[in-house]
Amino acid sequence: MCIRRKPHSSWKAALLGSLALTASACAAPVEPPPNLPADRVNACHTRVVITFAQSLGDRPADDFVTEISRAANVALVFVRAAGPGLYVFQLDAGDSDESCGQALARLRRDERIRSVDLDQRRHVSE
């Protein structure tokens, strides 16, 4: 008895295998920021706009941001420049405060930061 294989069945199996690998990779959990312990991640998770005391050009240096992150016990990830001297960051902290008030207060105490505010839509008042 001879078993006939359908033509192209091997490419279908390869396609299904690659789809399964892609789906499992997309479903993988997100790793915590490197400067926060894994058990303290994402109670506070928001975007902030930061103005630094010194002009830093188009983008602040990674080591400068790392120093500020460590001092304030937060994770800061650069998102984009929002204008001259304005920088948007993703802020993550292990605080139980979901409004991130404690993390914002720690950042505001740093002399290298002129201001830090939540990144939210602003409306012109009439």
Query: What's the CA gap between 91 and 49, in Å, rounded?
Result: 10
Q: What's residue 56's pLDDT? A: 84
Choose among 106, 6, 112, 100: nearest CA to 90.
100
What are the strands, taking DSSP E only, across 1-126? 44-52, 75-83, 86-93, 113-118
Asked if the structure places residue 27 within a domain, the reply is no
Mean pLDDT (10-residue bins), the chain, 126 residues:
53 48 40 50 86 90 96 96 94 91 96 94 63
Residue with tokens 């078993």: 3
Q: What's residue 94's pLDDT? A: 92
Please give the model's pTM, rounded to 2 decimal places: 0.63
Phi, psi of 61 (to 5 degrees): -65, 145
Domain that holds residue 42: 38-118
Asked if the structure places residue 14 within a domain, the reply is no
Q: What's residue 96's pLDDT? A: 87
Asked if the structure places residue 1 within a domain, the reply is no
Instruction: State how many domains the chain has.
Output: 1
At 98, which CATH number? 3.30.70
Q: What's residue 42's pLDDT? A: 57
Cβ proximity of 36 and 94 under 8 Å: yes
